[in-house]
Structure 1
Amino acid sequence: MASLKTLILGSLSLAPEVLGANLLAAHYTGKIYSLSFTGSGSNATLVSKSSVSGCGTLPAWLHVDANATTVYCVDEDWNGSGLLASYSIGDDGSLKQTGQAVTAGASVHGTPYGSGDQDGYGFIATVEYDPSTVTTYKLPLSNGTIVQNRVKFNMSEPGPNARQNAPHPHATQLDPTGRYLIVPDLGADLIRIFSIDATTGALTACAPGVAGAGDGPRHGAWWAPHTGSTLGQRLYTVNELGNSVSSWTVTYPDDGCLTLERKQTLPTYAEGHAAPNGSKAAEVHVAGTFLYAANRADETFGPQNDSLATYSIDPTTGDITFVEATPAHAWFPRSFSINKAGDLVAVGGQTSSNVAIIARDPKTGKLGDLVANLAVATPGTPQQEDGLSTVVWVE
């Protein structure tokens, strides 16, 4: 797909007016790239301004803090020695490393949590896919950082999918209150739940949410009808193995643990369209009353052009309805990120190794055309762990 290997500037419907914005993109060649998006329409530009290393050989995930002053990077290195790294973010999006710690590797996701002096956080939790573990560390990161706690997951028998030979936790994500950590487990078909001791960083296991057999939950996104309230709270998960999304009702008891109950599971494809062989749902995000999920390797819109699925969220019940599929303008979109204004979506194509900026209408939730597109480093290999790993807005 030649258009994904060069910078594309386009004038399109739904193209918003943008003065300037920064993004970060990590690549499995070991670098994090600072990108700058400016302009709109035919004047839109997306360029790479700088890059840094220091997060190992396979930087798999980036977590930007709420103030957009710090980013945490998780290294997926499989050779028994990975890294966790932190960076300060300059006004121009450039990064300066502020901390680094050695890990056992194989970490695919991480999030800071608890209370402390590091941008308000005291700890960081990571998940290790093949070792079947969740691991916590005290912040700030340094050469002296050691494992604070490690929880090993087990299964009594394999799941129905061949990839479910063992627990495979795929993300650590905070609930909106910051009191609980959820861990979608692709191998065990569970949404594991931990209550957090904000002072000590200790995690206490709660009863998990149970996904459908063979769903393989990967990541989650939260929604509530009223900002700042947990009343009517929903969790939406994307299921990598089932190529679907699930809607969960959330209960916050006065005493005890958060609980999840699965209410809906819908395909990431329109009715009558089956997931192509080799396709894998990857990521999920909420914006307003709309839910979005990425499909990898479906090539719904032609060679090397996968799809994003859009769902509407009923503002009263939280139930979801499939709306449409639109082009991702990327091949194997491992991650995507919606800006705060809700008028731009940045899609990170892993195999195509590009960042595509897509227009979005905040009122209708409709995804529009390609605004800009930038090749980052080297393309990946189909179905392999190389290429671009993640992209996120810095706001």
Structure 2
Amino acid sequence: MAFLKTLLLGTLGLAPEVLAANLLASHYTGKIFSLSFTGRGSNATLVNKSSVSGCGRLPAWLHVDSRVVYCVDEDWFGSGVLASYSVASDGSLKQTGSASTAGASVHGTPYGGENGKGFFATVEYDPSTLTRYKLPLSSASTVMAQSKFNMSAPGPNARQNAPHPHAAQLDPTGRFLIVPDLGADLIRIFRIDAKTGGLTACEPGVAGAGDGPRHGAWWGSPDLGRTAGRMLYTVNELGNSVSAWKVAYTDEGCLSLNRTQTLSTYAAGSAPPNGSKAAEVRVAGNFLYAANRADETFGPQNDSLATYSIDARSGAIQFVEATPAHAWFPRTFSINKAGDLVAVGGQTSSNVAIIARDPKTGKLGDLVANLKIATPGTPQQEDGLSAVVWVE
């Protein structure tokens, strides 16, 4: 199909580089920005087309599901928002619903129902909760259920004074929800009742002491079937590391995780700089990527992205290299479907950087576009740009 599209464009006298792609970037000033990326190489441009509000004071996370976008508000003052938007062909957003929340939500995902969009789960970092809502969202929406997490004793890191769930993510089958808990050093696992939205706890995966797991990304060799050979990779914020987990689906109806590796987000022999914090993890093909915040490996205000290869037979990972993030405090990054572009969201620098990627080798290449968004953030503070995602 890509070849036919290129051939058609050539026949019409148009270069393939004129094709545009849309992105969304949320900012802690309360807005979501619709961006348009066009071209390749020296001809690439990234522009801000429009913006919307409606996701509270501190929109912290964006989840794109086809042409629907969900936004989670991290408002700390007890009056948060969970919002939904439709995406037009030009990438602009129109709000379709919203619900009032107690705030402090840092991540969320739709789940369950007949099509995986019957309910929505959010996690609240300081309140140590997992909250569920019924979809679609409206002013009449209320909390459907909420789980409060506890731990018997503090962890080894000063930030592990309580459970701190940092993400709610589906497994590839859509039958399980995982919640990386930075405070408790656990990957909490829940079996989903698709009809009711109910969650049943399974035995959690146990991270290394002081790891502080934050987010996860899934991988599976297509030669090994839908569930066999499945792996989960987590980025560990406090440990500045990534972990590999072997996934199994048990006879008891649960998903189980067995941690097989933990590697630094820095090359062997290199220690994480003081104040650095690993942030995000993504998988593309047989490659794994992680973002390091506040390491300034590549100069002032230029942090790093770590690349790992994934063994196609075992799922084992190996550190390959570190490359420039072209951003300061890269809280999130997103790889497009073609696998040839990476959008990096610098929280403190408040920019979106587009980096070339070779889908075959997994290598990250040159900066091809860069755009400042709203106002810069303050180092180590909750302001600036919060998330960036491709809309495809």
2:43 paired residue number: 43
Q: Counterparts in 2 of 1:268-307, with a 5 A limit? A: 268-307=265-304
Which position in structure 2 is the counterpart of 1:26? Answer: 26
Task: Please tell me the residue identity of whatever aligns with 2:22.
Answer: N
Partner of 2:375: 378
Deviation sequence 1:37-89 (CA, Å, 0-9, x none): 00112211000000000000000000000x2x100000000001100000000
SS in 2 for 1:251: strand
Deviation at 1:229, TM superposition (A): 1.1
Please give the alpha-carbon distance, in whole angstroms, between the structure 1 residues aligned to 2:193 and 2:362: 37
The alignment status of 1:224 with 2:220, answered yes or no, reads yes
Percent identical across equivalent pairs? 82
Residue 287 of structure 1: CA displacement?
0.1
User: TM-score of the superposition, structure 1-length normalised?
Assistant: 0.94
Aligned-residue CA RMSD (Å): 1.0
> SS in structure 1 opposite 2:195?
coil
Q: 2 CA distance for matches of 1:31 and 1:291?
A: 30
Indicate whether 1:309 and 2:306 are aligned.
yes
Q: Which residue of 1 aligns with 2:3?
A: none
Question: Partner of 1:9 in structure 2?
Answer: none
Matches within 5 A, 1:1-395: 17=17, 19-65=19-65, 67=66, 69-116=67-114, 120-226=116-222, 229-395=226-392
Separation of aligned partners in 2, 1:94 and 1:278: 37
Aligned with 1:342: secondary structure? coil
Flag as ranges the 4+ runs of structure 1 deviating above 6 A.
none
Partner-residue secondary structure (3-state), 1:42: helix
Structure 1: unaligned runs, 5 residues or longer = 1-15
CA contact (8 A) 2:110 2:116 kept: no
Q: Secondary structure at the match of 2:172?
A: coil
Whole-angstrom distance in 2 between the partners of 1:28 and 1:376: 11
Distance in 2 between the 1:17 and 1:52 partners? 28
For 2:134, give the aligned amino acid.
Answer: K
1:311 aligned partner, one-letter code: Y
1:307-353 per-residue CA deviation (whole Å, 9 max, x = no partner) reads: 00000000000000000000000000000000000000000000000
CA distance in 1, matches of 2:230, 2:21: 31
3-state SS of 2:218 partner: strand
Larger relative contact order (CA 8 Å, sep ≥ 6) = 1
- Counterpart secondary structure, 2:42: helix
Alpha-carbon distance between aligned partners in 1 of 2:39 and 2:343, rounded to the nearest angstrom: 15
User: How many Å separate the matches in 1 of 2:72 and 2:352?
Assistant: 20
SS of match in other structure, 1:345: strand
User: Which whole-Å CA distance do the structure 1 matches of 2:270 and 2:106 have between them?
Assistant: 30
Instruction: Give the number of equivalent residue pairs.
Output: 376
**Offset of residue 255 of structure 1:** 3.2
Q: Partner letter of residue 246 of structure 2?
A: T
Indicate the SS of the match to 2:112.
strand
Q: How far apart, in 2, do the equivalents of 1:169 and 1:188 lie?
A: 8
Q: Secondary structure at the match of 1:125?
A: strand
* Cα deviation digits, residues 348-369 of structure 1 (max 9, x gap): 0000000000000000000001
CA deviation profile, 1:211-251 (whole Å, cap 9, x unmatched): 00000000000000017611100000000000000000000
